[in-house]
């Protein structure tokens, strides 16, 4: 009998009461109403949270408890939607790049850089060999373990992305002079050293600590994997270095990227159980499983062609809009992928990426339909 | 030795206060008047840092520009603003221009995006017409040459307008050709477009700067082109030895890296510029950033402009 193991990918929006507690901003009546409504809907005994939300000023302990409640709510939302592999949607993290860099030695924030229009991000520079200041996600994992009985997947920002989103003021000093081949070669060498040091010195110890504390599945997030096409082999090398000698389940999430650039290089990824992809965003909303019906999932043919052994984290819901994919549409996406890959066990349905830009209502419906769609697909496969 | 001077090009980063105001405007917490006020403060700061570096020509920093195409797209009928698109291999995005009809410039609107520049010393950077045409989705034709022709026609109006404003240098930035390693035959299309624009340029100088890749093929393709007064090289990616010795243009030497915050070593840069000057003994050299500075925080960009000034001063 077929069974599609579903999972989530990372972030979920933070409830207003959690954001306000973090910022020290007073709660509104609406915040309390939301906490009650979702608490009731998710079957949580939320009275202790309401007691805190009634307070005019929160103590540090109160704030800590609100954060735990946010994790509890988020986990329960994901469980309630029927997702198999769970996480709390980064309720206790700030942002994927800043969080990693702020907890590492060897980086200093240089200031704001524009991403587009009026959106900016704090960009750091590497100024000495990167080292872990304090393992980033161990406390988070220990907390989550207490809050759920389901299998947890912990996302961690990948080495290549950390390096690609940072300036390099340390290794680049070894770069040679301008305008010469020798200079170009030494710059490339310095770049490789930088990326691999981030993998060995930051990622590996962090992952090791998580495994020591009982984590079993680590998702390495690499949105920058294909940003520099010539460096895709370096991304692969950095993945391998990040998990070298470690025992656990390791997967990679790559989104909003040109997936064609991954081939053939990802054949060299070692011990990568799953490649998690954003695909729904590129697909049609029409039903159908025939050739040409699912343009967003065409790339899967490359995975088959290159005999990539990893499972596919199949993005079946678009995280950038409120369109609620029907169970039937999700079913067809799963069936098409199963057909292309030739094995239902290789398909793990998921949202395209973290759902943090969606409301909880929309996120919940998308996740719930992901579950229903998976069950519909199983039914059809079982009848064949 | 010919003259060694300096100038900058492209989009300059916004300061933290300006970034903050733009965010607040998006959240309806500040007004357009607040934004304009802060933009003027920032433009004054950009002009000041260039003045202190004793630049040969002055840019306004394009602090109102959302990306290198947007003002041209918004000031031209027949364009639509398209989806976010990655800016080459950077963690930065622009909105793709889409042509949906005949292009007609509204010069008055374009003017709102231009800061006041000193007459006879002002410089404006635009995307090269070839680059612009390459990244544009043209819903009116599938022929690239027709798209390039439409952009060139638009640029005829843009250049005429800038010439009327007494802009001294118009720089066409061309990252597309080096990045994609475009061959000679296609580079000839850029040369042809520039030849068309030459007809309206009057005394204004035309500069072309390639970056994000080996610029030697672009230099070879435009070398001797009468429309091009200054020709740029990205020395982060281009071998000096691969450039033609016979060079009939001023040289823009992209020696300061616009994508890394590491401040270049002054001594090493002076030594390299000496090498370049020896290679091109009769050529005026303009020391510059290799690519736009807006991939850096504003404080770092400022240091890089100051460094360019110090190196140029060394050769005075």
Average pLDDT over residues B35-53: 97
* pLDDT for B1: 64
- Phi, psi values for residue A21, rounded to 5°: -60, -40
Q: What are B268-281's pLDDT values in tens digits?
A: 999 999 999 999 99
CA of B262 vs chain A CAs: smallest distance (Å): 5
For residues A337 and A376, give the distance between their C-alpha atoms in angstroms, rounded to a whole number.
14
User: Hey, is the C-beta of B306 within 8 angstroms of any chain A C-beta?
Assistant: no
Cβ within 8 Å, pair A227-B86: yes
**CA closest to B256 among chain A residues:** A178
Residues of chain B with C-beta less than 8 angstroms from the C-beta of A177 = 268, 271-272
User: What are the residue ranges of helices labelled H in chain B?
Assistant: 16-26, 32-52, 70-74, 107-111, 129-135, 144-164, 176-179, 184-198, 216-222, 266-279, 298-314
Cβ within 8 Å, pair B297-A184: no
Banded model confidence at residue B316, pLDDT cuts 50, 70, 90? confident
Q: Are B245 and B276 in contact (CB under 8 A)?
A: no
Largest CA distance in chain B: 57
CA of B202 vs chain A CAs: smallest distance (Å): 34
CA of B294 vs chain A CAs: smallest distance (Å): 7
pLDDT tens digit at each of 384 positions of chain A:
889 999 999 899 999 999 999 999 999 999 999 999 999 999 999 999 999 999 989 999 999 999 999 999 999 999 999 999 999 999 999 888 998 999 999 999 999 999 999 999 999 999 999 999 989 899 999 999 999 999 999 999 999 999 999 999 999 998 778 999 998 999 999 999 999 999 999 999 999 999 999 999 999 999 999 999 999 999 999 999 999 999 999 999 999 899 999 999 999 999 999 999 999 999 999 999 999 999 999 999 999 999 999 999 999 999 999 999 999 999 999 999 999 999 999 999 999 999 999 999 999 999 999 999 999 999 999 998
For residues A288 and A310, give the distance between their C-alpha atoms in angstroms, rounded to a whole number.
25
Indicate the Cα dihedral angle B181, B128, A224, A106, nearest 10°: 100
Across the interface, which of A115, A164, A172 has its CB nearest the CB of B93? Answer: A115
- Is the pLDDT at B300 greater than 70? The verdict is yes
* pLDDT for B172: 98
User: Hey, is the C-beta of B239 within 8 angstroms of any chain A C-beta?
Assistant: yes
Residues of chain B with C-beta less than 8 angstroms from the C-beta of A120 = 14, 19, 23
Q: What are B74-105's pLDDT values in tens digits?
A: 999 999 999 889 999 999 999 999 999 999 99
Cβ within 8 Å, pair B240-A123: no
Most A-contacting residue of B27, B262, B287 (CB-CB within 10 A), to test interface: B262
Looking at every residue in chain B, the average pLDDT score rounds to 96
Across the interface, which of A173, A177, A227 has its CB nearest the CB of B91? Answer: A227
Across the interface, which of A116, A123, A228 has its CB nearest the CB of B84? Answer: A116
For residues A175 and A187, give the distance between their C-alpha atoms in angstroms, rounded to a whole number.
4
Banded model confidence at residue B160, pLDDT cuts 50, 70, 90? very high
Print the SS3 string covering A70-97. Answer: HHHHHHHHHHHCCCCEECCCCCCCCCHH
Cβ within 8 Å, pair A172-B92: no
| DSSP 8-state symbol, A200 | I
**CA closest to A224 among chain B residues:** B91
Question: pTM of the full predicted structure?
Answer: 0.93
Indicate the Cα dihedral angle A346, A271, A229, A191, nearest 10°: 160
CA of A178 vs chain B CAs: smallest distance (Å): 5
Print the SS3 string covering B283-297. Answer: CCEEEEECCCHHHCC
């Amino acid at each position: 009998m077929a069974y599609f193991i579903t999972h989530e990918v990372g972030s979920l929006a933070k409830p207003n009461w959690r954001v306000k507690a973090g910022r020290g901003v007073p709660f509104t009546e609406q915040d309390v109403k939301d906490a009650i409504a979702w608490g009731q809907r998710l079957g949580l005994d939320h009275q202790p949270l309401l007691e805190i939300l009634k307070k005019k000023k929160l103590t540090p302990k109160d704030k800590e408890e609100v954060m735990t409640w946010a994790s509890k709510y988020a986990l329960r939302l994901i469980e309630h939607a029927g997702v198999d592999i769970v996480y709390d949607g980064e309720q206790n993290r700030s942002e994927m790049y800043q969080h990693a860099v702020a907890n590492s030695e060897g980086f200093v924030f240089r200031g704001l850089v524009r991403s587009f229009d009026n959106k900016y991000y704090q960009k750091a520079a590497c100024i000495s060999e990167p080292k872990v200041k304090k393992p980033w996600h161990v406390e988070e994992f220990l907390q989550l373990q207490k809050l759920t009985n389901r299998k947890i997947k912990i996302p961690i920002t990948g080495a290549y992305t950390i390096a690609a989103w940072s300036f390099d003021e340390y290794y680049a000093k070894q770069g040679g002079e301008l305008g010469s081949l020798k200079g170009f070669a030494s710059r490339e060498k310095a770049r490789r050293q930088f990326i691999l040091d981030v993998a060995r010195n930051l990622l590996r110890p962090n992952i090791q600590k998580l495994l020591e504390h009982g984590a079993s599945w680590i998702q390495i997030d690499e949105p920058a994997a294909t940003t520099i096409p010539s460096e895709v082999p370096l991304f692969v090398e950095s993945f391998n270095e990040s998990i070298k000698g470690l025992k656990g389940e390791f997967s990679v999430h790559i989104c909003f990227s040109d997936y064609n650039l991954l081939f053939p290089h990802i054949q060299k990824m070692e011990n990568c159980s799953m490649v998690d992809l954003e695909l729904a965003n590129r697909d049609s909303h029409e039903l159908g499983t025939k050739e040409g019906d699912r343009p967003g999932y065409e790339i899967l043919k490359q995975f088959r062609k290159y005999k990539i052994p990893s499972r596919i984290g199949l993005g079946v819901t678009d995280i950038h809009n409120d369109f609620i994919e029907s169970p039937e549409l999700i079913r067809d996406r799963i069936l098409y992928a199963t057909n292309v890959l030739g094995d239902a066990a290789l398909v793990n349905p998921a949202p395209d990426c973290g759902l943090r830009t969606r409301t909880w209502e929309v996120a919940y419906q998308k996740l719930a339909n992901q579950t229903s769609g998976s069950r519909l697909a199983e039914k059809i496969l079982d009848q064949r | 030795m010919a003259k060694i001077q300096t100038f900058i090009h492209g989009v300059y980063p916004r300061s933290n206060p300006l970034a903050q105001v733009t965010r607040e405007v998006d959240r309806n917490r500040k007004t357009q008047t607040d934004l304009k006020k802060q933009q003027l403060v920032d433009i004054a700061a950009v002009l000041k840092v260039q003045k202190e570096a004793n630049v040969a020509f002055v840019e306004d920093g394009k602090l109102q520009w959302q990306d290198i195409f947007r003002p041209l797209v918004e000031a031209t009928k027949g364009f639509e603003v398209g989806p976010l698109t990655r800016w080459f291999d950077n963690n930065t995005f622009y909105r793709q221009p889409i042509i949906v009809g005949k292009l007609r410039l509204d010069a008055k609107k374009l003017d709102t995006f231009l800061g006041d520049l000193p007459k006879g010393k002002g410089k404006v950077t635009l995307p090269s017409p070839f680059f612009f045409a390459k990244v544009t989705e043209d819903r009116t034709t599938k022929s690239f040459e027709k798209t390039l022709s439409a952009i060139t026609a638009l640029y005829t109006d843009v250049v005429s307008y800038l010439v009327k404003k007494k802009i001294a240098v118009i720089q066409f930035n061309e990252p597309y050709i080096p990045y994609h390693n475009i061959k000679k035959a296609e580079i000839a299309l850029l040369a042809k477009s520039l030849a068309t624009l030459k007809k309206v340029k009057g005394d204004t100088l035309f500069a072309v700067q390639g970056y994000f890749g080996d610029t030697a093929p672009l230099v070879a393709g435009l070398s001797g082109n009468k429309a091009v007064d200054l020709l740029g090289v990205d020395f982060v990616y281009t071998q000096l030895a691969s450039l033609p010795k016979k060079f009939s243009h001023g040289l823009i030497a992209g020696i300061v890296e616009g994508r890394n915050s590491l401040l270049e070593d002054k001594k090493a840069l002076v030594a390299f510029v000496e090498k370049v000057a020896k290679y091109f003994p009769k050529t005026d050299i303009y020391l510059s950033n290799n690519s736009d500075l807006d991939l850096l925080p504003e404080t770092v960009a400022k240091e890089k402009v100051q460094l360019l000034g110090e190196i140029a001063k060394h050769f005075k």
